[in-house]
Structure 1
Amino acid sequence: MKGLIPLWQHRHWLLTMLLPGVALLQVLPGVTQETLQISNTGSVIFRAPNSDTPRTVPSNPTTFTAVTDVADLEVVKTGDRSAAEPGDTVTYRLLVRNTGTAAVNNLVVQDVLPLGMQFVGKSLQGTVGSGTTSTPVALPEPTTNNRTIAIAVPNGLAPQQTLNLTYSVVLTPDAIRGSGRNLASAIGNTGTREIRSNTASFLVRIRPGILSDCGTILGRVFVDKNFDGEQQPGEPGVPNAVVFMDDGNRIVTDPNGLFSVANVIAGNRTGAIDLSSLPGYTLAPNLYRIEANSQSRLVRLSPGGLARMNFAVTPAFGEQSTR
């Protein structure tokens, strides 16, 4: 055949010659290998220009790996409560399934805890089973790195086996600054092939409990006889005095002249005494601190903290200092 295009331009023809050889490959029943190394070759017969003699050109051998059995990991995560606060203990359950047809070796389950959750030592328990039967499995104590827990499973998982893990964490005060969501996954190998699971998550809603960004203001209104701004023995509290806070709250003192305001947003807070609620009294002068000679008080309230706000008054007819 004359006028043929050179061989290197017959790429499609060469490919179609190789494909039938691959198509004849099949994995026979009873083969227990997880992977097979497959070699394939092909050849092309052609006639060169100005020649009637056919020529055969063999291809280079091509080798690829065929996987006959593959493992597949699936992770499901649950917890024993949906909400918690600092000091509480949460118990997690991890279910790891091998839904594939090959065993998983060197299996490690990882859980990344949110800020403020700490693993409780010796709380890890595990069982392995298939179907409705399960048996306890001995597991080494997990390793922890920052907030990541790594649980090694010495014997791995056989096909269609399920691993059940339970363990506990305790919430620290830092938990109120965390997301409450942790992420769990599993990794292992089948032969030389790495197997990774999905990433499962579980969310615990964090309640502040007794820990909060808000604080409490305590105070008193009292008769200051020596004009030092501090309540001394013999200086009685004044009941029914009205104090207005900067957020609009109206506070009335008890029979001992005391008052308190809870759940106040942290920061600079001010309060002012309403002298019209105290007939016969006026603001007591302070002989030691100029800033105390005002109807208002400024305090710095830290998150979750306490601040004191006192008001000293004196009878309006002008009681003299005892000093």
Structure 2
Amino acid sequence: LLGLTDVAVTPGDLAPGESAELLGQTYVITAADIAAGQVENTAEAAGAPVATAADGTPDAGTPLVDGTGAPLADATDTSDTGTEPALDADGNPVTIADPATDGGVDDPTILGLPGDLILTKTVNRSSVVVGDVVTYTLTIQNGSTGALANIDIVDTLPTGFVYRASTAVIDEVAREPEIAGQALTWPGVVVGAAETITVTYDVYVGNSAGPGDHVNRAQGFDALTGAPRTDEATATVRIEAEPVFQCSTVIGRVFDDVNHDGYFNEEPQEDRMAITDQTYYGGKGGKWFEPEPSEPRQEVGLPGVRLVTPNGTAITTDEHGRFSLACADLPRDIGANFMLKIDDRTLPVGYRMTTENPRVVRLTPGMLTKMNFGASMFPVARVDLSARAFTNDGEMRPELRAGLQSLVNQIAATPSVVRLGYQAASGEADRAARSRMRRVEREIRRLWSDTGRYALTVERVIERAPQASSQ
């Protein structure tokens, strides 16, 4: 096995009844050895017969000779100590008590190796809710020809899972584990040769285990060294959300905000039990100062408008502009923020938002939350600009300033959208055009702060004349 030849032993000269040893030789166990379950080693000793001196020590200089005077052949022997090739009832190699009488023919020394332990883990249910009981099953298979003892099986439960006392069984024999936190340990497990044992136990799904996937992990370790003896085995359980107590549902409407106040005036009174953003306060957003109209014009829902959540969930309003998100989120005890945004490309032509977009509300577990979106048709006040409206140093000409003041006075009472359209000349850089439009927008907002009564929307666009054909 070691591949050693002509290696001297210590002592090198042996008197009758003496023995010598060859120490310090090593062999590295291979994967093939593990698969075979054992390694075999054969050694042969050889020595020249010599005479014995008067003091009883070997006389290496006087070899023994035969009748013709020729030296005797070397004496040799092949190892027959250690074990027989046979195994006992437990699968362990049989030790030879007296090699001289029991060994029979020369045989190799057999060393039984710890074979591969295969650990698998299963669970009887893949989907559960809080309060359920699940059963885990561990299977440990010994693939070697020898028994394996002192195996500690350690099973770590997910957070929120609680072991159900007096349910652990190993091969139909009750055996409680040692419990330390979430770790369950069965110490000193013995797995016989080519044997498979099964461990089962029950676990409660506790309230502190939140929705989602929960992984249970188990592994076998050597009780003496603590080294792993198996790969890690896992089993996954998914806890489903409890719709009444854990989910938060969002409902709402996208409506035609006729009076541009950001509130749905047709909100039914019986809906006031829900958490809502529809409680009226004069001056919402700091821009609207008129009291709520006593007889508001009818406001209707806008159908076919798409709304999107940050995780990509998309919903579309029905024929009445309504939408709902069942179990929109699973907020913790203190709640969680939830965002929803309208894809304004799906609004009717000419409509613009009168409410925040996106909107953020605070969700509470088990509560219904309402968030409405307003949009309306706005008159568009268009301001056409070009480089001629500015001086050489980039300042606005007096005529432009006067025109902006007149514009602000005209749209102060009627919600409108201001669109700045810059006609860029050939070769004029976009950077210069954007800078001039920003200057104009700042002037409009300065004037608006003294006059306007609603949140003004200013749009900006750069327009260029089509390039003339070179042909």
TM-score by length of 2: 0.38
Q: Is the alpha carbon distance of 1:170 and 1:102 closer, same or farther for their aligned partners in structure 2, counting shifts above 3 Å?
A: same
Larger gyration radius, structure 1 or structure 2: 2
**In the TM superposition, what are the counterparts of 1:116-127 in structure 2 within 5 Å?**
118-122=161-165, 124-127=167-170
Partner of residue 245 from structure 1, selected from 306, 314, 318: 306
Q: Is the alpha carbon distance of 1:304 and 1:124 closer, same or farther for their aligned partners in structure 2, counting shifts above 3 Å?
A: farther
- Is the Cα contact below 8 Å between 1:80 and 1:92 reproduced in 2? yes
Q: RMSD over aligned Cα, in angstroms?
A: 5.4
- Letter of the structure 2 residue corresponding to residue 186 of structure 1: G
**In the TM superposition, what are the counterparts of 1:126-137 in structure 2 within 5 Å?**
126-128=169-171, 135-137=172-174
Work out the CA distance in 2 between the residues paired with 1:174 and 1:215.
18
Q: Is the alpha carbon distance of 1:141 and 1:113 closer, same or farther for their aligned partners in structure 2, counting shifts above 3 Å?
A: closer
TM-score by length of 1: 0.51
Q: Indicate yes or no: 2:217 matched with 1:201.
A: no
SS of alignment partner, residue 184 of structure 2: strand
Work out the CA distance in 2 between the residues paired with 1:194 and 1:205.
28
Q: Is the alpha carbon distance of 1:193 and 1:252 closer, same or farther for their aligned partners in structure 2, counting shifts above 3 Å?
A: closer
Larger helix fraction of residues: 2
1:309 is aligned to 372
1:126 positional shift: 0.7
Q: Indicate yes or no: 2:369 matched with 1:298.
A: no
1:299 positional shift: 0.8
**In the TM superposition, what are the counterparts of 1:97-246 in structure 2 within 5 Å?**
97=141, 101-102=146-147, 104-105=149-150, 107-113=151-157, 118-122=161-165, 124-128=167-171, 135-145=172-182, 149-153=183-187, 156-157=189-190, 159=192, 160=195, 162-168=197-203, 170=205, 174=210, 176=212, 178=213, 180-189=214-223, 196-199=228-231, 201-204=233-236, 206=238, 209=241, 216-219=250-253, 221=255, 229=263, 231=265, 238-242=299-303, 244-246=305-307
Encode CA deviations 1:6-54: one digit per residue, 9 max, x unaligned.
xxxxx95226995425833232579999999xxxxxxxxxxxxxxxxxx
1:69 positional shift: 8.0
Gaps of 5+ in 2: 13-21, 23-42, 46-77, 96-108, 270-294, 309-313, 330-337, 378-413, 415-471
Partner of residue 7 from structure 2, selected from 11, 14, 17: 14
1:297 positional shift: 3.6
1:61 is aligned to none
Encode CA deviations 1:267-303: one digit per residue, 9 max, x unaligned.
45236595789xxxx99xxxxxxxxx72764213679
1:26 is aligned to 82
1:95 positional shift: 2.0
- Letter of the structure 1 residue corresponding to residue 138 of structure 2: L
1:259 positional shift: 3.8
Work out the CA distance in 2 between the residues paired with 1:103 and 1:142.
24
Number of residues of Structure 1 aligned to a counterpart in Structure 2: 245
Gaps of 5+ in 1: 1-10, 37-64, 129-134, 284-292, 319-323
- Is the Cα contact below 8 Å between 1:93 and 1:166 reproduced in 2? yes
- Is the Cα contact below 8 Å between 1:215 and 1:301 reproduced in 2? no
Higher-RCO chain (CA-CA 8 Å, sequence separation at least 6): 1
Q: Indicate yes or no: 2:115 matched with 1:78.
A: no
- Is the Cα contact below 8 Å between 2:154 and 2:219 reproduced in 1? yes
SS of alignment partner, residue 13 of structure 1: coil
| Identical positions, percent | 12
- Is the Cα contact below 8 Å between 1:222 and 1:236 reproduced in 2? no
Work out the CA distance in 1 between the residues paired with 2:347 and 2:225.
78
Partner of residue 269 from structure 1, selected from 341, 358, 374: 341
Larger strand fraction of residues: 1
**In the TM superposition, what are the counterparts of 1:58-77 in structure 2 within 5 Å?**
73-77=117-121
SS of alignment partner, residue 165 of structure 2: coil
